[in-house]
Amino acid sequence: MKPVSTPTPTPKFLRIDSIVGNKKKGIVGILPISKSTWWAGVKSGRYPKPVKISIRCTAWLAEEVDAMEKSFSSCTDCNDSQISQVK
């Protein structure tokens, strides 16, 4: 009898428009910050590292972004301007 293998879950990715939104495309973002704030946070290590899907396509693991979002929502003393400062 062959051992039953469970399929490895496929990781889900989020593009930057899904994270910070895009007003021109009508996309509401998960976080109320700008693209430049997001990229500065990625560079400084506050936000998750991106995954390069192809030469011109960068994304983030949805699991990491969700965990970061939950840490923001658990911050009871934070307001929108402080979100970019949460480590």
Residue pLDDT, tens place only, 52-76? 999 999 999 999 999 988 887 766 5
Residue 21 — left, alpha, or beta (φ > 0 → left; ψ -120 to 50 → alpha)?
left
Flag whether pLDDT at 87 surpasses 50. no
How much is the pLDDT for 10?
Answer: 73
Which amino acid is it at 28?
V
* Rounded CA separation 25/83 (Å): 24
Distance separating alpha carbons of residues 44 and 38, to the nearest angstrom: 10
- Nearest CA to 57 out of 18, 15, 10, 11 is that of 15
For residues 19 and 53, what is the distance between their CA atoms, to the nearest angstrom?
Answer: 16
Predicted confidence (pLDDT) at residue 80 exceeds the cutoff of 70 = no
